[in-house]
Amino acid sequence: MQILHPLNRLYSAICLYDVRVDLTLSDIGKYFLKIVEDLTSMAQRPPDWMSTASWPKVKPYGRMIKKLPDILRTEASIGVGFQCDPTKKFDCDYLTLEFDFKKTDFEGCPTWIIKGDADLLPLGSERSLGLAKGACTFFQPVYGFGFQKTLAWGPSFAAHGMLTQEDRTQREKDIIVGWGAATERGFHRIGYLRDIYPLNFLNETHLRREIQGVSMRTYIQKSKQNGSLSVISPDVTLWNVEEEHIPRLIDEFGKARIIFDYKEMVEKPQLARVIPRTDTEQLAFERDSMVSAFLLAGYSEKEARAIAMQEFPEVEQPPE
């Protein structure tokens, strides 16, 4: 059985960078099964088939799921397909979801990606946000983002820093190619963004970056047009941005040098270095993780920061 999809199909993608590397194949397998179980409940039927990058054709899900441990041991990604509801008008027969569970590094940065048909995984929906929340709790990423593009655009290729034949602006090409260099050198760990997307998964280091004289957190909270923040795991805050405001925010965050500038790094070789996490940065990261944990537990931001500052008095207090 060969499954083809129209290249104009809209796909959602959630990309998480610097994820945990201590997860076992058993851990990942259980997580994969949990996601499929949730989607099965939504679709009211199990997946019809499974695929991997190395298989020339898809194979029956019921038969292949029994071999999941061996598949996870040898494959970089797994796809599953749900047959479309015949009562609805789709331009394809199956809705697909693809998981990249590969533990090897993307430019020195362990990465997890999920890509799915937008009809199965609408970006910003309760379903996709629930999946993102679970993924951030499970994988504990340092940074991530979510977006929608057509299949021809190559959502997973773009996340991995690979160009496709689809036309793009020079800025998009610089971002896609340059992000590999950024993650390799640790820029995402010190508060740089790849770009601004509808969904942005941030840590406290990002939210402390300064823009227009205030912290990024304060800037976002000043106006609904700047998006909204919500703590979705002990270490990750979701910044949700409406599409219509993204161009303005890209301009403002670019001027504040919060969005990573690949050309600047090339033109200034002193920036092209690996940025390790210093002892001070590690303490700040642990302090910020404690703040997030107390926020998640229902404490006010003021209370959470006061407690964390008592535990880490040697760390400089971030700007308000």
Tokens of 255: 């001027």
156: tokens are: 């997973």
Task: Give the pLDDT confidence of 159-199 residue by residue, as tens digits.
Answer: 777 766 565 677 887 787 778 777 877 788 888 999 999 99
| Contact present, 13 and 144 (Cβ < 8 Å) | no
Domain ranges of the chain: 9-162
Residue 107 near residue 181, CB atoms below 8 Å: yes
Could you tell me which of 190, 181, 188, 198 has the C-alpha nearest to residue 269?
181
Q: What is the Cα–Cα distance from 254 to 266, expressed in whole angstroms? A: 17
Is residue 103 within 8 A of residue 21, CB to CB? The reply is: yes
Chain CA centroid to CA 145, Å: 4
**What one-character DSSP code corresponds to residue 236?**
E
Q: Which of 83-87, 130-134, 269-273 has the lowest mean pLDDT?
A: 269-273
**95 versus 139: which is more confidently predicted?**
139
Q: What is the mean pLDDT of residues 131-153?
A: 87
| Integer Cα distance of 116 and 95 in angstroms | 8
Q: Establish how many alpha carbons lie within 13 A of residue 114's alpha carbon, considering only the half-sphere containing its beta carbon.
A: 23
Question: Rounded mean pLDDT of the chain?
Answer: 79
| Residue (of 71, 47, 14) closest to 197 by Cα position | 14
Distance CA 222, CA 199 (A): 19
Closest by CA position to 162, among listed 3, 15, 21: 15
State pLDDT tens for residues 240-291.
Answer: 999 999 999 999 999 998 998 877 665 554 444 444 455 666 667 666 656 6
